[in-house]
Structure 1
Amino acid sequence: MTTERLPQQLSPGPLRRIISSAFAIFETRLELIGIELQEEKERLIGVLFLGLAAMMLALMALISLTVLIALFFWDTYRWQALGGITLLYALIAIGCGLRACSNLRDEPNMFDDTLAEFRKDRDIFRSQ
């Protein structure tokens, strides 16, 4: 009588299931990071385009205003008028620069959602 050994079906053990789940979670989180990066890129491109358009149009308006004021005061106070306009432009530029620096400092972390998901995953694994 011959005894044949039937190949045993290897059932995935608990360690293999945990590792598989961990890789699936990691893959999902990487996809979330990719989506967040894509959204941030699109937002920045839109803001950059609008900002450049606004700067170009504002510069054209400022040049026109400067010429208009200089022509208006040409016979009497031309140097004082141009100096006042220059000082006003410089103060506004400084204010804009300080506001931009403030906005950059106060910007939240770009990957807050992904980090929150990683924390949830860590808490789930710790509780099991």
Structure 2
Amino acid sequence: MDATPPTPPSRGSSPRRFAGALLGLLQGHIALFGEELKEQQSHTLNLLVLTSLSLLFGLLLIIGLSAALLIAFWETHRLLVISGLCGFYALGLLSALITLLQRVHNAPAPFSASLEELARDREQLLP
């Protein structure tokens, strides 16, 4: 029987395993970041297209309704209708701007999943 005693693990493999684990974590984070970037890009493009279409059709509707009101009241209350339309448009503009500023201020941070994953890894690695 040729029995050789088991050799103790060498010190060289531990740093290699640590480096491999670190590179694996880094690769996972980069892949998650890339997926979130693609998702964010797709979401932004969809919002841009829908916003543009909404703006276009909304403006066409406003022009049509304004023209109809002006034609209907041209002989009797033309200045009152024009002033009322301008006031209505100003209120719409202000409410849209206030809503936009609130949403920009309260928007969630992009890449939050990557940041959460990094925080979890830091908690696990640090004592």
- For 1:110, give the aligned amino acid: P
Encode CA deviations 1:77-103: one digit per residue, 9 max, x unaligned. Answer: 101101110110111011001101101
Encode CA deviations 1:9-61: one digit per residue, 9 max, x unaligned. Answer: x8851111101110110111011011001001000100110111011000000
Could you tell me which residue of structure 1 aligns to residue 73 of structure 2?
A: 73
1:85-104 equivalence runs, <5 A: 85-104=85-104
CA-atom RMSD in angstroms: 1.4
Could you tell me which residue of structure 1 aligns to residue 32 of structure 2?
A: 32
1:1-128 equivalence runs, <5 A: 13-127=13-127
- For 2:13, give the aligned amino acid: G
- For 1:45, give the aligned amino acid: L
SS in 2 for 1:74: coil
Mapped partners of 2:12, 2:69: distance in 1: 82
- Percent identical residues: 22
Could you tell me which residue of structure 2 aligns to residue 6 of structure 1?
A: none
1:123 Cα deviation (Å)?
1.4
SS in 1 for 2:126: helix
Q: Aligned pairs, how many?
A: 118
Could you tell me which residue of structure 2 aligns to residue 4 of structure 1?
A: none
Mapped partners of 2:109, 2:126: distance in 1: 25
- For 1:35, give the aligned amino acid: E
TM-score calculated relative to the size of structure 2: 0.88
